Structure 1
Amino acid sequence: MDIKEYFHRVSLTNSGPPSLSSLRELHRHHVHSIPIESLSIHSGEKIILDISWMYNKIVVRRRGGFCYENNGLFLWVLQQLGYQTQVLSSMVRNRKNGIYGPPFDHMILVVNLEGRRWICDVGYGEALVEPFPLEAGWEEEQDNGVYHLLVEGDEWYMEKKEENGWRSLYKFTLEERTFEDFRDMCEYHQTSPSSIFVQKSLCSLQLPHERLTYIGRQLITTEYTKGGEIVKTIRKLTDEEIPGLLRDKFGIVLSGKLIPKDEDIVIPKTHQSDSSSKLDLNAYLQRIGIADYMAISKMPSLSTLRTIHRHHVFSVPFESLSMHSGEKIIFNIGWIYEKIVLRKRGGFCFENNGLFLWVLQQLGYQPRVLSSRVRIKVTDVYEPPHSHMILTVELEGRRWLCDVGLGDGIIEPIPLEAGWEGEQDNGVYRLQVEDEWHLQKKEDKVWNSLYKFNLEERTFEDFRERCEHYQTSPNSFFVQKSFCSLHFPHGKLTYIGRRLITTEYTKGGGSVKTTKELTEEEIPALLKDKFGIVLSGKLTPKED
């Protein structure tokens, strides 16, 4: 990678030593030369979170990119030039519903220079042309509008002036991140129906006092006037006109055939206010049917642990629907919280037990994470390590196994004691210790192992690779079958493929099952009525 080639790309001959004037010139030239665009997603190209790949795309192939690409490349440039840089995570506000995106939704940079801190952001279509002082209450007019920084608690809000007042673009904290932290959200924005980059083929370039935006089959010209006012003109395009327009207006020639797209963005279902992006314990408790924090003991206790475990299992489904409706599962507690609590979805073990881990920590418990290996019934073979996440809690002189993330698992915590046996609403369980610990369930008077584990403590992060594997591998149960399972007292509902299975449990570990065949048209309503789930993408039923 050659910094001189970057200068040529942004129409600069050179850049002097670190200074505010040099930083301003560099930022402005980047914004005026390199588009914000999602064209890779609509022309068959995978975006790779790698600086050398981005350099090749933007500098050598003279393309643009979204925030991770533009700000990722700009980070490299600033580091090459000797600037002191920091990477921050921000959350973009949806204009339609006021909800902020998940953590790592947008990358921004901060530069320490001449005794002040400056926000740099060359990766947002309607934001800064020049660096902006990171100072509470700062207001400034730039070529494309008037901006303002608002601070509430530890959160900073970048706002832009419009006719009806200030509009928040995104919010952020000052916690330093790394470029690598954005890998999952880079993948999410290429695959999720909630991503503007998936729903719209777009390309936007800031020019002095105006912005050109291609989107779908339109070219929008936005002229900025003094005080933040704008004038827009729209020109309709045919498919045949688009390649020439991209070449002439944006300097872009695609290597693959572009499929124009301008669909409505799928907005996650939520009743929360625009402050809902913060993880809120009360919102979780309401999600599982507990009125508020005051309804449970403020001190860790076995009765409280049993209550929240039971409520979670009866409220939050075990499901693989993301894999069959175009949604990437992001291995991040903030994203999982947004999915399960705000969008009222379920998840597989890493999601359910990952969220439950956070809940227990918030309530003052000291949970430990363990790795278990699930037994495949058909082959009697155990999955590899980290195939299933479980939790333990030390409480009242005993250790307790917690697991809200297995479709056929326990309803309440069980004592982590060799030889323990007990009956719950959905069957009889026991713990056997041989070379490892085995959680077993009695079925037709026979003990079958559900999974085995040892007591070596793990971390949530240890399960990242298996989370990815279970979403992509053709050998994954979650990939092979679209399913959703939810316990109720003494029974379980299971949707799978094109069937609904109702299981009623009888005393001593027996069960009675009934099956109803479904048409594809019936499935969305069934998921809504029986499981409380409304998907953001179209479900493809599957049972291989």
Structure 2
Amino acid sequence: MGLDQPTYTDIQVEAYLRRLAYKPAATEGTGLVEHARQRVQSDALGTLTELQRHHLAAIPWGNSGLHYSQHHTISLHPDSLYEKIVERRLDGYCMESTGIFFIVLRSLGYCVYATGGRVSHAAATGVDNGLWLAFGHMVLIVIIDEARYMVDVGFGNNCATAPLLLQEGATATCIAPSEMRLIKDTLVEVTDKSQKVWIYQTRNNPESPWIPNICFSEVEFLPQDFDVMNFSVSKKPTSWFVQTFVCVRMILDPTGKEIIGQCIMSGGEVKQRIGGQTEILQVLQTEEDRVKALAKYFDMHLRTGEVEGIRGLSSQIK
């Protein structure tokens, strides 16, 4: 393991792939990890797309560690991420979910690095005023055959569902009928108007306006940068993540080839959104309802001490 270049062992990567239910047809006598590495060599982009899709469907995006725990903290240490997300099969918010994906991709042989992103006011508050929050998001840049792709598995219900080539205006399906794209533009708040950054946008359908979600540059961020960002996001009293509990999991079609919707727990409801249509699956009246719903819809099984950790918090269902 190089300095600040963590990787997982083959045993750990295999456990992660099984957590994803990632089971490509393997060559006889070839282990799952070895086969995955062979696929990376023969079809790096296709394999990356499959891994991203399965990760989004298997690993919920959420912030349970800040609400259902005795410590109310988030660790980005590779061992902590592995224990929480793979062994405990719990959720993770952006720097956790994308953080473990980052280490797995490096372990499989990808050329990948992380950069920091800002979330727009439009995504955070629903008001598109052109303004942006402080750095608080992790984005991966994966380099394949000298082309660079944005990869993200940690942005909840508006998360990119496939790698996006760093190319202006290229539009792709996010979750049909919604679309996603990257543009390059100058932020209204900066002094030097020659500075441009990548902006990840989504729209509900081809007739809807584009909404900015995340902006980022191609500058590599280091682990200590994310430590500072993580501390702010998880400890600042005004942070939305501290005040509100949320959990989101993408839904794959029966073939496992396409993300067709999402299951969302927010406030006092569990909702399913498929094809642009939203259905309320369950109304949560009590904390017991929510804990059982986490097990039912997200395969998250909390321990007694974790359940008791939410007592007294603003996010508790009373």
TM-score normalised to the size of structure 1? 0.45
Q: Corresponding residue for 1:193?
A: 237
- Higher helix residue share: 2
Q: Corresponding residue for 1:232?
A: 278
Q: Which 4+ residue blocks in structure 1 deviate beyond 4 angstroms?
A: 260-263
Q: Corresponding residue for 1:241?
A: 289
Uncovered stretches (5+) of structure 1, i.e. residues with no partner: 225-229, 264-544
Matched, 1:53 2:95: no
- Contact 1:16/1:22 (CA < 8 Å) preserved in 2? no
Q: What code does the residue aligned with 1:111 have? A: V
Q: What code does the residue aligned with 2:165 have? A: P
Q: Corresponding residue for 2:203?
A: 161
Q: Corresponding residue for 2:220?
A: 176
Q: What code does the residue aligned with 2:263 have? A: L
Deviation at 1:180, TM superposition (A): 2.5
Q: Distance in 2 between matches of 1:174 and 1:115?
A: 14
Deviation at 1:221, TM superposition (A): 1.6
- Contact 2:244/2:315 (CA < 8 Å) preserved in 1? yes
Matches within 5 A, 1:130-169: 130-144=162-176, 145-152=178-185, 153-162=195-204, 164-169=208-213
Matches within 5 A, 1:114-513: 114-125=145-156, 126-144=158-176, 145-152=178-185, 153-162=195-204, 164-208=208-252, 209-224=260-275, 230-234=276-280, 235-239=282-286, 240-255=288-303, 256-257=306-307, 259=310
- Contact 1:215/1:261 (CA < 8 Å) preserved in 2? no
Q: Corresponding residue for 2:22?
A: 12
Deviation at 1:261, TM superposition (A): 5.1
SS in 1 for 2:48: helix
Q: Distance in 1 between matches of 2:148 and 2:48?
A: 12
Tell me which of the two structures has the higher relative contact order, counting C-alpha pairs closer than 8 angstroms and 6 or more residues apart: 2
SS in 1 for 2:134: coil
SS in 1 for 2:89: coil
- Contact 2:164/2:182 (CA < 8 Å) preserved in 1? no
Deviation at 1:52, TM superposition (A): 1.0
Q: Distance in 1 between matches of 2:249 and 2:314?
A: 18
Q: Corresponding residue for 2:103?
A: 76
SS in 1 for 2:199: strand
Q: Distance in 1 between matches of 2:50 and 2:289?
A: 34
Q: What code does the residue aligned with 1:241 have? A: D
- Contact 2:141/2:148 (CA < 8 Å) preserved in 1? yes
Quickly say closer, same or farther: Cα 1:232–1:137, change in 2 above 3 A: same
Deviations 1:323-358 (A, max 9, x none): xxxxxxxxxxxxxxxxxxxxxxxxxxxxxxxxxxxx
Seq. identity, %: 26
- Contact 1:31/1:122 (CA < 8 Å) preserved in 2? yes
Q: Distance in 1 between matches of 2:246 and 2:75?
A: 19
Deviation at 1:233, TM superposition (A): 2.7
Quickly say closer, same or farther: Cα 1:261–1:203, change in 2 above 3 A: farther
SS in 2 for 1:101: strand
Deviation at 1:123, TM superposition (A): 0.9
Instruction: Give the paired residue count.
Output: 257
- Contact 1:215/1:262 (CA < 8 Å) preserved in 2? no
Deviation at 1:188, TM superposition (A): 1.6
Matches within 5 A, 1:78-93: 78-93=105-120
Uncovered stretches (5+) of structure 2, i.e. residues with no partner: 1-7, 24-31, 186-194, 253-259
Q: Distance in 2 between matches of 1:142 and 1:184?
A: 30
SS in 2 for 1:57: helix
Deviation at 1:129, TM superposition (A): 1.5
